[in-house]
Amino acid sequence: MTRFILVTLALLCFPTMATIITTPAKPVIGINASEIAKRACYYQDQAYSDGAILQVGEHYMVCKAANDFETNGALKWVQLEARSAPEQQAPQGGKHYSVN
């Protein structure tokens, strides 16, 4: 009978001896420092540098500075507007594009 009591007590004490693992209260944020200094415009998970021109459907986009007064600020896509070419300068009838 005493063996039964000892076995029962041992089984009841076993869950209380479990290891408790705690997580830190503040999450750790990892930053890739090599990516911070890169200035790029993104399209379909690909990075494009300043001055890159991209055709999306029938529209042309250029990667340029988001603010004209910043020399190393963020970049953004700007749509190029089509304008008709004067017939004297471009007899081939090609389209010309300019930045907004």
Could you read off the pLDDT of 40-90 as tens digits, one per residue?
A: 888 888 888 888 999 888 889 999 988 888 878 889 899 987 665 554 454
Q: Which residue has the higher pLDDT, 15 or 49?
A: 49
Q: Among the ranges 10-14, 25-29, 54-58, 94-98, which has the highest mean pLDDT value?
A: 54-58
Q: What is the 3-state secondary structure (H, E, C) of the chain?
A: CHHHHHHHHHHHHCHHHCCCCCCCCCCCCCCCHHHHCCCCEEECCEEECCCCEEEECCEEEEEEECCCCCCCCCEEEEEEEEECCCCCCCCCCCCEEEEC
The pTM of the full predicted model, rounded to 2 decimals, is: 0.47
- What was the pLDDT predicted at 90? 47
Q: Tell me the pairing of strands 53-56 and 59-65.
A: antiparallel
- What was the pLDDT predicted at 37? 65
Distance CA 1, CA 92 (A): 107
